[in-house]
Chain A
Amino acid sequence: MIVLENVSYTYSDKSRKTDALRGVSYTFEEGRLYAIMGVSGSGKSTLLSLIAGLRTPTVGRVLIDGEDTAEIDACRLRRDKISVIYQELNLFPLLTAEENAAYPLTIKRTPRKEAEKRARACLERVELKPELFGALPKKLSGGEQQRVAIARTLAAGSKIVLADEPTGSLDKKNGDNIVEILQRLAHEEKACVIVVTHDPSVAQRADETLTIVDGTIEEKQ
């Protein structure tokens, strides 16, 4: 469970300050797919990086299962609970699909064989063609790459999945497919999946859609 308590975030450059988020309070539950929408520059990506512990709020608190991200080791949080998927470049270019999916397991010192077995199972669940398991990312299409990234999330067993425009560079069919997988992830794995998107059809599949306007959340439906 993710709790945002009066969260504000200000980027301070040398010359100017940008208030990206202003006093956001919200609670994200497990087992649900959230869509976050909003115009460009409204603060969507900032929100995700705060939840991932990549930034800490200027004001307010972000609590993950009751723990304040500013106070605990955010690296451990990401290793054990949170996965982030971006629009592209999510994979290690020198590792095969299977090795990429197995990565979270190997850093947790799961034996190589066991990790690979579980990675293959995850790749099968995101319906990647088995002949692509040994391929390097540059040989995969955008959709296939995103599937590998989701498989890695599955392998890591993350209960929180943050996806920043995961379908942004995919065609409609592939995009729908990815959202479907994310939806299953939320409902079947009881994960809390938050998807930032500009695509209303993605939002339609979400259990809840939030719109960010100028750094604050406007709830919808």
Chain B
Amino acid sequence: MPYLITRMRRRPMRCLLSIICAAAVCGAIFGLFAGERSMDKSIDAVYAELPVKCAITNLRGTRSEGLNIPGWAVNLFFQDERYGPSHPETIFLGYIKEVSAQTSIQALIAQKPYTLVGLTDRGAARELADGGGRIIVWREGYDESFFSGDESGCVVPNGLSQLESVTVEVAGVETVTAELRVIGTYFGTGDKANTIYCTWEAVCDIELNANHGITASSLSAVFSDNRRIDEFWEKCGSKYFAFVDPEGVPQEWGVTMYRYYPFALAIYDDTLKSTVASLEQSKITFMIFGDIMTALALVFGFLLGELITKAREQELALQYILGLTKSRVIAEVMAEQLTLSLLGFGLAIGLLFAAIGISPPWLKIAIAAAAQIIGFLIAALRAVGKKSPELTKGVE
């Protein structure tokens, strides 16, 4: 390769053009790949951060409160043998977190009827939230986090606020008396005026003692891993609950099992699915453009080759006249172009890596580099492959 460097040095603009072309192709591919990766990251983030809830509903999926959910169903979410039979083969707990449940029983306090409501901490967060003219005053040392424990305390309506504790009497299979410490009072009006809020555990204890079983009025949970929702449904959920689609039309209405267990499990993942779908769409767009770019590298290489060999026709002809074989003439142009392309690719990879810090799509880049070189080679072969005398035309 005599004078390869010399010639390159004396033609800096041409070299720069080649380097920039290669860098542009490589940069575009890398950039599109970065876009693809950022979509992946966004999808991961959506899966990780968007809370998806499931709730036990009626078979039409239209009502999720005021249900009489039996102990065995509750136990799927709590894994507490006192509530009902245990189902070791279907461990809901592996898929869910933050169970929000509510149970209620009728109780007598000083001969007056009250509704005793047991809430898990998440259920309490919703039920006792400010609003509806309800203001809660906690006794010293207590706040909402009390509902995550199992203390036998309660939040009473305004009328009972002066009491230190309330003694409730619950009639069921057996009549049970229990004492609850008053730890908060709420001021408000409406249908909740005769309701007393306690921890889930406390009410369940009373209920178990009175009825030897529990019944929940509502039950929901948040998935702990959104990527395993489908797996959860297949392995666990579908064994106990009917499937309801978003329009509320049950899919397996006819199955006899649901005549005895008339519950469905609604999974509120529409937002998750649509968000992920649109991100996937963008990702695919990036991928397609990346592939198009890779294919375009061939065209770019060819056009650049045509441009360069046209401009160098005289030189190529001279080399041939001076006794270089055609393959050697091509080898020389290719060596020069290869050097410049590699420089361009290296430059683009280096700059983009420094800027965005993700490792480049080596395979795609290698394919693009190969495509560009092949495109260039085709042009070079075309230029030199013409009948030998035509090659010398530029000189003759």
Contact = CB atoms under 8 A, between A and B. Distances in A.
B325 to A, nearest CB: 5
A93 B395 CA distance: 12
B395 A90 contact: yes
A86 interface: yes
A106 B396 CA distance: 24
Given A45-B396, A90-B318, A164-B396, A54 B388 contact: yes
A107 B320 CA distance: 12
A32 B103 CA distance: 121
A80 B323 contact: yes
B395 A79 contact: no
Contact of A106 (B3, B10, B320, B325): B3
B6 A93 contact: no
Interface residues of B, number: 22
A75 B324 contact: yes
A76 B396 contact: no
Find the residue from A52, A78, A91, A94 having the highest chain B CB count within 10 A: A94
B177 interface: no
A90 to B, nearest CB: 7
A89 to B, nearest CB: 5
Find the residue from A76, A78, A104 having the highest chain B CB count within 10 A: A78
B49 to A, nearest CB: 60
A103 interface: yes
Contacts of B86: none
Contact of A55 (B7, B315, B324, B389): B389
Contacts of B2: 103, 106-107
B322 interface: yes
- Majority secondary structure, B binding face: helix
Interface in A76-102: 76-80, 84, 86, 89-95, 99
Given A86-B395, A92-B315, A93-B314, A79 B6 contact: no
B159 interface: no
Contacts of A99: 3, 6
B333 to A, nearest CB: 13
B149 interface: no
Nearest to A84: B321
Contacts of A94: 3, 6-7, 10-11, 315
A95 B395 contact: no
Given A93-B314, A95-B7, A79 B324 contact: yes
A160 to B, nearest CB: 12
A104 B7 contact: no
Contacts, number: 66
A55 B390 CA distance: 10
A55 B395 CA distance: 15
B113 interface: no
A81 to B, nearest CB: 9
Contacts of B323: 75-80, 104, 107
Interface in A13-58: 45, 49, 52, 54-55
A76 B388 CA distance: 14
Contacts of A55: 388-389
Interface in A160-183: 164
Nearest to A103: B322
Contacts of B389: 49, 54-55
B181 to A, nearest CB: 97
Contact of A54 (B7, B314, B321): B321
A84 B11 CA distance: 26
Contacts of A80: 323
Nearest to B10: A94
Contacts of B325: 73, 75
Nearest to B9: A94
Interface string B380-396: 00000000110010111
B7 A49 contact: no
Nearest to B329: A75
Contacts of B396: 45, 49, 86, 164
Nearest to A49: B389
Interface string B6-19: 11001100000000
A71 B324 CA distance: 17
B321 A95 contact: no
B392 A49 contact: yes
Contacts of B392: 49, 54
Contacts of A75: 320, 323-326
B156 to A, nearest CB: 97
Contact of B315 (A52, A76, A93, A104): A93
A79 B7 CA distance: 21
A156 B322 CA distance: 9
B322 A104 contact: yes
Contacts of A107: 2, 322-324
Nearest to A83: B322
Contacts of A164: 396
B322 A89 contact: no
Contacts of A156: 322
Contacts of A78: 321-323
Interface of B: 2-3, 6-7, 10-11, 314-315, 318, 320-326, 388-389, 392, 394-396
Given A49-B396, A90-B318, A94-B3, 4 more contacts: A73-B325, A99-B3, A104-B323, A156-B322
Interface of A: 45, 49, 52, 54-55, 73, 75-80, 84, 86, 89-95, 99, 103-104, 106-107, 136, 156, 164
User: Lowest 5 A-B CB distances belong to which pairs?
Assistant: A79-B323, A106-B2, A78-B323, A94-B10, A75-B325
5 contacts: A55-B388, A75-B324, A86-B395, A92-B318, A106-B3
